[in-house]
Amino acid sequence: MLTNKLENCTISIVNPIDNGTTVDLYIYKKRNTKKKVYFINDSPYIDVDVSIKARIVSTNENIEKLEQSVNSYLEKQISNFLYKTSLDYNSDICSLGKYGVSQFKTNSNWESYNWLENYKNSIFNVNVNCTVISSLLFTEV
């Protein structure tokens, strides 16, 4: 999702109507993920906006509640992933730094900033916008 290479997948989340069950969703990209990098007190502040669509594979009656659950679940998973890679692995494996380089006037300023050293200080703001389609029919994706 972060690198826009996800074509589709199926995920299972806790059913927001019945916590003892799960809901299976076929998800795919609605549009490319938007990424922006700002610098606040020399630390990267990274906005990630993911837009996906999901088709219900198992049944559920409350689409709005399901969309909220999908958004919350994926925001948490993506945030955990980003913090894990930045703090534990000190690695920008999604190449978010390329969205921050434009904030520097010269290449030497960017190089002296030392992105990888500062990337571990990043604050991530992840927003997921999921549209759930209530259908078991897979027509056009």
Asked if residue 35 lies in contact with residue 48, where contact means CB atoms within 8 angstroms, the answer is yes
> pLDDT for 43-67, tens place per residue?
999 999 999 999 887 765 688 888 9
In the structure encoding, which two tokens stand for residue 43, read together? 């630390």
Element (H, E) at 37: strand 22-40
Other C-beta atoms lying within 10 Å of the C-beta of residue 56 = 17
**Dihedrals phi, psi of 28, to nearest 5 degrees:** -155, 165
Sign of CA dihedral 76, 80, 81, 82: positive
> pLDDT for 27-40, tens place per residue?
999 999 999 999 99
Residue 141 has pLDDT above 50, yes or no: no
Looking at residue 60, its pLDDT comes to: 59
